[in-house]
Each structure stands twice: as structure tokens, then as C-alpha cells.
Structure 1
């Protein structure tokens, strides 16, 4: 399990707790499949910060599109990041945005592993 966790950079405490909880009753092959799926879906907090900072220079809302929040992305795009206030808030809360997205993807990955019948 430790080898799998080392492959996930910038793991937040909430993610670590969720992974430990979800993988506790998984077989080794299920754990391997889970980490393979989850690592492909997971977003690094620095990625989200970089995309948010691009909102000041290029196009506001890119981070929201990447996080699957299409409605908010369109709103940010059309309003210039809600007149840059929303973009500033996202710069401050980038880790929370990434963690919330990653937790959702973690549980989805666990469901996928459970459904695969391994």
C-alpha cells in the first residue's frame, strides 16, 4: 500500500483517510486497479493553482472546466471570473477545490473497482 501512496504526489490528509478507508477490505488486485484508476483522474493542487492564475491573464474559469464544474466555468468565462473576485477566491482556496474534486473521483474509482467484479 505504501508504494501506491508514494505514486500520488501532494496527497491531502482527507484523501489519505479516504484511501485507507476504501482500500481496507480490497484484495491486492483491487487495490492495484483502484490506484491505477484514481491516479489517472486525480488533479494536483498545483495544477489547479496554475490554471486559476491563468484566469488573471488569459481566460477566467479554466480551472472550473477542468474540475468538471461546467456551469461555473461558463459563468466565470462570461463575467471575467466574476470581475476577478471569484478568481481571487479560487486562488486562495485552490487546495480545497482540488481536494473536493479528488475525493469525488476517489469514491467513483472505488465504485468502478467494486463493479468490475475482481
Structure 2
């Protein structure tokens, strides 16, 4: 089954965590330090791979079924994101939702210094 890195409202305790269902949590970790982390219109987070000089972003890795991923999680994602692959802190890869390559004029606020959606939202 695919591993899925989550870094927003689908993490444990988040408003969209129900989309994960009973998928097991594999790890609480960070990405490799190669991403800019944005708040898109203040509504949802987005990872952007910038290579060197990026941040290590906090998140959770879940072992999802393909059905859960395809039928439940992906349809619930905002239009400004697309499915991609991120590098985790240990060098392994995981599926994740990343900033759509042609994101247009979406309002992006760089929150890389916080490296955490929960910190941005003022949550523990």
C-alpha cells in the first residue's frame, strides 16, 4: 500500500483527519530540507520543492490503501495541490500533496520558518 505524507488538516487531530480512516500511522517525521512551505490563501498548506536551501517540514506518514487514496483522500484535496513524491528526512520517498506546478496567482505566504501547519494555525 502507498505511504502518504500529510502535513495539513488531515493529520491527527485535524478537521480532515477522518479522510485517513483507519489507515495506520507509520511515522511522525519531517521532509528532507528541500521544500518551501506555503499557506495558500491562509486556507491550506503546500510544499514546493526548491532543492538546496529549503526547510524540513513536519508531518505524518500513513499507510493508505489505494482505494482510500483514490476514492476518499484525493477528491478532498484543494485544487491548488497535486499528487507528488517528497523526500523524507531519512532519504526515503513518500507520496504527498504538493503545490500544483501551474498554481497561477494563488496567494502564497511563505511559512517555511515555522515548518509546521499546526504552528502556523497556532495549534499545539
- The TM tier, using the shorter chain, reads under 0.3
The structure that is strand-richer by fraction is 2
- Larger % of helix: which? 1
Normalised TM-score (structure 1): 0.21
Q: Which has the larger radius of gyration?
A: 1
Normalising to structure 2: TM-score of the pair? 0.21
